[in-house]
Amino acid sequence: MSDSVDLMRVAAVVGSLREKSFNRGVMRAAMELAPAGMVVADVPIGDLPHFNDDLDVNGGPDVVRQFRTRIQEADALLFVTPEYNYSIPGVLKNAIDWASRPSGRAAILGKPAAVMGAATGRSGTMRAQLHLRQIFVTLDIHGLNKPELFIPFAPEKFDDAGNVTDPAVREQIEKQLVALQQWVNRLQGAT
């Protein structure tokens, strides 16, 4: 955790670039519903170039260095992902690839993380979340296992601007963030 303040900093990485996407709405709700002592901040990934080792010289392009710094400074990660073709979006995988370099010393290694996601169908992003958790293994990311948060049939739970309006979903987001806070404290050996 941060030495200068008692706030747990959570970097939110959203796998959708669309401003009014359901998953961006989930992230905004997480920012609003974060428990006392936690701040959730959006870490944009839309301007990251396609991962290319040839670009990763002296820390990579400026946007990559800024992204890596925000991931490094975070106490935990919050991945909010849609599901594309039974998996995570390419833009999210690209961000993870940038955050996972340099090998063995990457900003993302060993971070605690939670996952949530919304979809129009009945799966609520469960397959995408499973694939994301498989990626966690090689990066030693300490994923919060419970409570899981899949938001199916999203159009029924959001307004036209992409904001979460369903009270039960808002409660689930809040519960997962409290559990993430407890998970981070447990991993850090705090009381």
Count of the separate structural domains present in the chain: 1
Q: What is the CATH number of the domain that holds 155?
A: 3.40.50.360
Range of 115's domain? 8-187
Is 3 contained in some domain? no
* pLDDT computed for residue 25 by the predictor: 97
If you average pLDDT over residues 146-159, what whole number do you get?
A: 97
Per-residue model confidence as pLDDT tens digits over 31-86: 999 999 999 999 999 999 999 999 999 989 999 999 999 999 999 999 999 999 99
pLDDT band at residue 1 under the 50/70/90 scheme: very low
Is 157 contained in some domain? yes
What DSSP assignment string belongs to the chain? --SSSSPEEEEEEES---TT-HHHHHHHHHHHHPPTTEEEEE---TTPPPP-GGG-STTSSHHHHHHHHHHHH-SEEEEE---BTTB--HHHHHHHHHHT-STTS-TTTT-EEEEEEE-SSSSTTHHHHHHHHHHHHHHT-EE--SS--EE-SGGGTB-TTS-B--HHHHHHHHHHHHHHHHHHHHHTT--
Looking at every residue in the chain, the average pLDDT score rounds to 94
Q: What pTM does this model have?
A: 0.94
Is 2 contained in some domain? no
Per-residue model confidence as pLDDT tens digits over 4-34: 458 999 999 999 999 899 999 999 999 999 9
Is 137 contained in some domain? yes
